[in-house]
Structure 1
Amino acid sequence: MLIQEKIIQNVKNKCIEDESVSACMMYGSFTKGEGDQYSDVEFYIFIRDQDINHFNSRYWISEVNTADLIFYNEYGTEVVIFSNMIRGEFHFLPESKMEIIKSFKSTGVFPNPESMYVYDSTEQLQPLLEGLGGSGPERMTDKNVNFAFNNFANAWLMGVNVMKRGELARSLEVLTQVQKYILQLIRVKEKTVERWLNSTKNLETDISVQSYHNYVSITAKLRECELKTAYKNALKMIEKLYNSLSDFYVVDIDQDFIQKLYVHLNK
């Protein structure tokens, strides 16, 4: 048994023991059959409304498993680094907000809602989880494809401009956004859009060998020559993706615009 599976069982046991807990669901790799020894454990835990103001989440988590660090990240998620170096994410919400689960449907694919179920004393959780089943939102749309092309152009131009100014570290940071939008378009082309919001996950096996090789060409170290090569290769990739996808999707940019970007890069 993986350490994470023991932690998941500990969470379930703790939910059963604690009368202030109304329900608990899990998300992430272990709900998709992809969990391994490197995976996180991630939960939404709903607390009875009358108990939420007095609920000590930090103490609750520490009773699940010995922890070295518990803190809130920039998204307001309570993050734990357990002493065995397993990461956990915990969202503690009042029972009255359980219907937030309905909003998860737009974020991705949940192929097995039953695997998300951990505990429920309210009989509300299971129907909400069943609503997440089936196929995810349609990603291969004009709106999404145009979004990726347009945001590529915006990020690419910003990255090139700050690079020309000499802000190489900032240019390298922006390059990650350029990569993100290219990967989304690659996933549309290769029909692997289930990971649209987390486009690098399982990239080594999700996309073709050629596309992965092309992706490598748009990575760089903090050196001007490498950055310029990465931005140039990114433009070559977007031109090829435009030629592949523009016959099937409505795209705002065109070949003339792409050529203007080439000219701008070489000024």
Structure 2
Amino acid sequence: MLKQKQIIEAVQEACEQDEQVTSCMMYGSFTKGEGDQYSDVEFYIFIDDPSFETFQSKHWVANIAPYDLMFFNEYGTEVVIFSNLIRGEFHFLPASKIEIIKSFKPTGVFPDTNSMFIYDNTGMLREYLDDLGGKGPERLTDENVSFAFHNFVNAWLLGINVMRRGELARSLEVLTYVQKYMLQLLRINEQNVERWLNSTKNLERDLSPEAYEDYTLITARLRKEELEQAYTHALMLADKLRKQLEPHYDFDVDEKMIGKLRDYLSQTE
């Protein structure tokens, strides 16, 4: 059995035995049939309101499995590094906050909500999970194409400017945003947008070989010549995608805009 599966079963057992826990749901790879030996385990665990203020999450998780680290990340999630180096994410919330589950729907597609169910003594969790089922949000829209193109232009211009100033490390950081928005456009062009908010996940399998090769050309190490090549290829890819998407979507980054950026790129420093 996978180590992650053992942790999942231990979480379920702990929920069933702890009267403070009203319900628990799982999210992530194991709810999408994609979990493997490299996957994280991720949970929302709801605690009876009167018990929440004194609830000790570190003690609770310690009864699941030994861990080496447990801390809050920048998003307010409690991250656990178990001693077997499995990574976990835990959201402990008062039971009265269970409606937060409704806010998950706009984030993506939930193909099997039954797999998200871990434990419930309220009779409410199934109802909330059922609301997540069905078709996910529409991604193939004029708004999303415009959003990605607009943010590409912004990131690309910033990256070029800081590179010319000599801030190569910052230019490399900005390149990740250029890649992000180009990848969203690549996914739209291939109508493969289920992972819109996590666009690099399973990229090697999701994109066509041609699109994947286009993406590799906009990557770089911290070398000026590589950064220059990546930004140059990114602009070429933007123009290619502009031509391919124009017949299908309404957006305002046109040939003139791309040409202006091309002229700026060709200017001497």
TM category, shorter: over 0.9
Task: List alignment gaps of at least 5 residues for structure 2.
Answer: none
* Cα deviation, residue 253, structure 1: 1.0
* Cα deviation, residue 59, structure 1: 1.0
Aligned to 2:37: 37
Q: TM-score, normalised by structure 1?
A: 0.99
1:171-205 deviation digits (Å, cap 9, x = unpaired): 00010010010110111111110000000000000
Aligned to 1:199: 199
1:215-230 equivalences under 5 Å are: 215-230=215-230
* Cα deviation, residue 142, structure 1: 0.6
* Cα deviation, residue 250, structure 1: 1.1
Aligned to 1:174: 174
Q: Distance in 1 between matches of 2:236 and 2:62?
A: 50
Aligned to 2:187: 187
Aligned to 1:211: 211
The residue type paired with residue 117 of structure 2 is: Y
Q: Distance in 2 between matches of 1:135 and 1:175?
A: 33
Q: Distance in 2 between matches of 1:136 and 1:44?
A: 20
Task: List alignment gaps of at least 5 residues for structure 1.
Answer: none
Q: Distance in 1 between matches of 2:252 and 2:71?
A: 43
* Cα deviation, residue 166, structure 1: 0.5
1:137-192 deviation digits (Å, cap 9, x = unpaired): 00000111100000000011111110010000000001001001011011111111
1:80-112 deviation digits (Å, cap 9, x = unpaired): 000001000000000001010000000000000
Aligned to 1:152: 152
* Cα deviation, residue 266, structure 1: 1.8
* Cα deviation, residue 135, structure 1: 1.1
Aligned sequence identity (%): 62
Q: Please tell me the root mean square deviation across aligned C-alpha atoms, in Å.
A: 0.5
Aligned to 2:85: 85
Aligned to 1:65: 65
Q: TM-score, normalised by structure 2?
A: 0.99
Q: Distance in 2 between matches of 1:124 and 1:91?
A: 18
The residue type paired with residue 120 of structure 1 is: D
Q: Distance in 1 between matches of 2:50 and 2:266?
A: 64
1:100-111 equivalences under 5 Å are: 100-111=100-111
Aligned to 1:136: 136
What SS does structure 1 have at the residue aligned with 2:91? strand
Q: Distance in 1 between matches of 2:137 and 2:166?
A: 41
The residue type paired with residue 184 of structure 1 is: Q
> Which moved further from structure 2: 28-37 or 59-68?
59-68
Aligned to 2:262: 262
User: Paired residues, what number?
Assistant: 267
Q: Distance in 2 between matches of 1:17 and 1:113?
A: 23
Aligned to 1:16: 16
What SS does structure 2 have at the residue aligned with 1:197? helix
Q: Distance in 2 between matches of 1:62 and 1:256?
A: 60
Aligned to 1:246: 246
Aligned to 2:50: 50
1:203-227 deviation digits (Å, cap 9, x = unpaired): 0000000111111100000011000
The residue type paired with residue 37 of structure 2 is: Q
* Cα deviation, residue 63, structure 1: 1.1
Moved over 2 A (4+): none
* Cα deviation, residue 39, structure 1: 0.1
